[in-house]
């Protein structure tokens, strides 16, 4: 079993576990650094006896939108489901099956078309859909998965581009759950949702089965070829559950955890015990309407470095994007925006991706929506209070 690494606060600790590398997305822009500073200063202010109840918050500011029809690769026929942000180039990658498989490259700041990935010849083959979901590692390597209804008879395939100029290679082919007996119908259907974290030999790909409530993680020893480990979770309603509680939206959390959900199901935070393969996944947090998380939040993305989770709620009328603070382990709603396009997403598919100080939403049949993550005005007032608290501490010591 290849050694893995846990990155925390800039330190690197060797762990002999394949599910333990924390994705730390690079944050370069001052506004988000200001957000973190505000929270630190609030803690100092509280220590000094200042009664400050409100925490600094982030809001969503619409940046740009591409509606169906604005580009040939944005349609209303359920053929755009995978998307992610490339932290190396600052580009957005979008998988499309309309008119044949393609992977578009967009400018993340403006939405401008920048071309497409080279698919090679005869490399990407097989599956119900030859290409479906897409993810990008911290080193800019791009991963595209197919969709298979049964990975024991039609293998799940993962393809890898070393960068946006490369041709793809086959990184994995087979049953991601490593042949374990996952329960329920559709328990071997993989490719509806996945997430990527890490870089190089620390890259990991998380997948959830469409039925049975189980998942899998792909890891690599050389950065190019992957092996799979099954994760048997408690997120299945029953042995015959046809649509998993986590089968349409998964995202890595901190350490050995991940978040998962599906249409009409609660949002779950699942801890993974990597002591014995297949791994055991246990729900450590279960959030519904009662906790402020609508049941129809189906597509999710997580930024662990900011402690944020974003989810798309599928509703009658234009769908909604919710932004939650998950730094305490319990989602706290920060902001909600309504999409400007109103088409039904009956399959409950798409993608949500954080990138720097931006959030990107691909709501299938509704195009791509980009938002700026903006600290609300009160944040700067709180920073002033925090600075004042630091000044008071220094004065008392004189």
Tell me, what's the pLDDT at 244?
Answer: 83
Tell me, what's the pLDDT at 241?
Answer: 56
Instruction: Report the mean per-residue pLDDT for the chain.
Output: 85
Per-residue pLDDT of 118-137, as tens digits, reads: 999 999 999 999 999 999 99
Tell me, what's the pLDDT at 181?
Answer: 72
Tell me, what's the pLDDT at 9?
Answer: 31
Domain boundaries, the chain: 4-33+65-377
Per-residue pLDDT of 140-176, as tens digits, reads: 999 999 999 999 999 999 999 999 999 999 999 999 9
Domain 4-33+65-377 CATH class label: mainly beta
156-161: strand order across its sheet: 129-136, 142-147, 156-161, 169-174
Q: Which residues of the chain have pLDDT under 70?
A: 1-56, 182-185, 237-243, 378-398
| Three-point CA angle 163, 169, 170, nearest 5° | 135
Separation between Cα atoms, residue 323 and residue 301, nearest integer Å: 10
Tell me, what's the pLDDT at 281?
Answer: 96
Tell me, what's the pLDDT at 236?
Answer: 79
Tell me, what's the pLDDT at 35?
Answer: 52
């Amino acid at each position: 079993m290849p050694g893995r690494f846990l990155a925390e606060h800039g330190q690197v600790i060797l762990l002999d576990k394949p599910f333990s590398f924390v994705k730390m997305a690079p944050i370069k822009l001052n506004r988000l650094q200001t957000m973190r500073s505000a929270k630190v200063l609030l803690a100092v202010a509280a220590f000094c006896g200042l009664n400050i109840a409100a925490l600094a918050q982030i809001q969503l500011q619409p940046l740009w939108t591409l509606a169906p029809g604005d580009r040939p690769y944005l349609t209303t026929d359920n053929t755009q489901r995978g998307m992610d942000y490339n932290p190396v180039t600052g580009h957005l990658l979008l998988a499309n099956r309309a008119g044949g498989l393609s992977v578009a490259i967009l400018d993340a700041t403006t939405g401008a078309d920048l071309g497409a990935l080279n698919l090679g010849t005869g490399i990407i083959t097989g599956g119900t859909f030859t290409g479906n979901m897409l993810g990008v590692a911290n080193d800019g390597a791009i991963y595209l998965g197919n969709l298979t209804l049964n990975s024991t008879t039609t293998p799940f395939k993962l393809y890898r581009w070393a960068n946006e100029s490369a041709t793809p290679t086959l990184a994995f082919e087979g049953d991601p759950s490593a042949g374990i007996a996952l329960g329920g119908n559709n328990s071997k259907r993989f490719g509806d949702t996945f997430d990527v974290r890490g870089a190089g030999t620390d890259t990991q790909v998380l997948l959830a089965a469409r039925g049975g409530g189980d998942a899998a993680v792909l890891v690599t020893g050389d950065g190019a070829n992957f092996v799979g480990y099954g994760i048997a979770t408690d997120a299945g309603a029953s042995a015959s559950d046809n649509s998993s509680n986590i089968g349409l939206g998964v995202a890595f959390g901190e350490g050995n955890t991940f978040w998962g959900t599906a249409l009409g199901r609660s949002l779950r935070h699942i801890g993974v015990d990597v002591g014995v393969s297949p791994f055991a996944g246990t729900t450590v947090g279960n959030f519904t309407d009662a906790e402020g998380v609508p049941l129809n939040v189906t597509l999710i993305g997580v930024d662990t470095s900011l402690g944020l989770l974003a989810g798309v709620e599928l509703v009658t009328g234009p769908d909604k994007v919710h932004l939650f603070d998950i730094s305490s382990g319990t989602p706290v709603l920060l902001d909600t925006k309504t999409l400007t396009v109103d088409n039904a997403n009956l399959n409950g598919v798409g993608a949500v991706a954080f990138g720097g100080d931006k959030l990107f939403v691909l709501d299938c049949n509704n195009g791509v929506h980009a938002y700026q993550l903006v600290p609300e005005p009160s944040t700067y007032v709180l920073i002033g209070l925090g600075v004042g608290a630091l000044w008071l501490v220094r004065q008392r010591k004189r």
